[in-house]
Amino acid sequence: MGGIYTRHLTGRVPEAELIAVADPAPGLAERTATEFGIPRWFEDYRELIASPEIEAVVVASPASTHADVVEAAARSGRPIYCEKPLALTLDECDRIVRAVERAGVLFQTGFNRRFDAAYAQAKRLVDEGAIGTPVTFKGVGRDPMMPRLEYARPEVSGGLILDMAIHDFDLARWLMKSEVARVFTEGGTLVFHDLNSVGDFDNAVISLKFATGALGNVEVSRNALYGYDIRTEVLGSEGAIMIGALQQTPVLLLTRQGAHHDVMRYIIERFSDAYLAEVRHFVRAALGAEKASGPTVYDGRAGTEIAIAATRSYREERPIALPLG
């Protein structure tokens, strides 16, 4: 994620100048600064935040570090963009919320799919009443490979649901215009059994009950070896919206051997423009050039809470009510 934002902020967001990067990995910040012509680099994020010329901060560090980094950035009074998930625990989420509220700074959570053209169009149609009242939600999120075991550790990434399904939970709240009241998860390690060694799993299906009475279902998987498969459906009282497709290029080859088309390879191919749009919106909002309308710190907390409840449901094999006590 740090690499994605670095590329956008050094060449595709004219309102911003990336003047410093920080990363504790030996040599990484220096190599990044050299590659992209960034004037300053640090191994300690606190040195970056202490730099008086910094006007806004993008946090793309591991989720386990978000609370500390955001608190330091908030104390400095600077606008903050923070990648999802907001944190790995609700206590850490609440630390972030308190820090942002105390400082009164602009804060945007990195739910990039809200800035994807297809999802943004779907949201407009739902808000205009094109499908009537939203009744059911279906989210499919399938990655084309197993992550590194070190990353898959729940204490690092949060595990399958917090790492992946949190996008679908945010879309569910956003498109259904309702909070989630109950979750129930079925899951398991069905393909990549090495994940058991770090306490993670590779497939899950999560049932949702919304406060409005509407229903939802989210499926996440690590083993879509055929490609990056991200799709969403909203059924309403008067129609439905279907968002996303596996095919990347609108070309279908028909031969004696059958029908053939390409597929989305991974995140960059599908959501590069969305990452650009969300970080440019953050920059423009920080400058006061447009009204802040991106996902808030409260959206970040809400998505994390649903993901924690869904993970707990899997571990405890029972439905979990929200909000969590």
pLDDT 10s digits, 312-325: 999 999 999 999 98
Q: Within 10 Å of residue 233's Cβ, how many Cβ atoms?
A: 17
Q: Which two tokens stand for residue 210?
A: 């919304």
pLDDT in tens, 137-172: 999 999 999 999 999 999 999 999 999 999 999 999
Average pLDDT, integer, range 68-89: 98
Q: Which two tokens stand for residue 252?
A: 């279908």
Please say if the pLDDT value at position 262 is more than 90. Answer: yes
Average pLDDT, integer, range 279-306: 98
- Predicted confidence at residue 124, as pLDDT, reads 98
Q: How confident is the model at residue 127 (pLDDT cuts 50, 70, 90)?
A: very high
**Three-state secondary structure call for residue 80:** strand
CATH 3.30.360.10 maps onto the chain at 113-271+295-321
Average pLDDT, the chain: 97
- Predicted confidence at residue 100, as pLDDT, reads 98
pLDDT in tens, 50-59: 999 999 999 9
pTM of this structure = 0.96
Could you confirm whether domain 2-112 is CATH 3.30.9.10? Answer: no
3-state SS, one letter per residue, for the chain: CHHHHHHHHCCCCCCCCCCEEECCCCCHHHHHHHHHCCCEEECCHHHHHHCCCCCCEEECCCHHHHHHHHHHHHHCCCCEEEECCCCCCHHHHHHHHHHHHHHCCCEEEECHHHHCHHHHHHHHHHHCCCCCCEEEEEEEEECCCCCCHHHHCHHHHCHHHHHHHHHHHHHHHHHHCCCEEEEEEEEECCCCHHHHHHCCCCEEEEEEEECCCCEEEEEEECCCCCCCEEEEEEEECCCEEEECCCCCCCCCEEECCEEECCCCCCHHHHHHHHHHHHHHHHHHHHHCCCCCCCCCHHHHHHHHHHHHHHHHHHHHCCCEECCCC
- Predicted confidence at residue 13, as pLDDT, reads 97
Looking at 2.60.40.60, 3.30.70.580, 3.40.50.620, 3.30.360.10, the CATH number of the domain 113-271+295-321 comes to: 3.30.360.10
Phi, psi of 111 (to 5 degrees): -95, 85
Cα–Cα–Cα angle for 165, 117, 287, rounded to 5 degrees = 95
Number of H-type helices and E-type strands within the chain: 12, 14
The DSSP code for 321 is E
Please say if the pLDDT value at position 175 is more than 90. Answer: yes
Note the residue count of the chain.
325
- Predicted confidence at residue 325, as pLDDT, reads 80
Average pLDDT, integer, range 41-51: 97
CATH 3.40.50.720 maps onto the chain at 2-112
Sheet strands (E) in 237-307: 240-243, 253-255, 258-260
- Distance set, CA 105 to CA 81, 176, 275 (Å): 11, 28, 21
- Predicted confidence at residue 172, as pLDDT, reads 98
Q: How confident is the model at residue 208 (pLDDT cuts 50, 70, 90)?
A: very high
Q: How confident is the model at residue 47 (pLDDT cuts 50, 70, 90)?
A: very high
pLDDT in tens, 88-99: 999 999 999 999
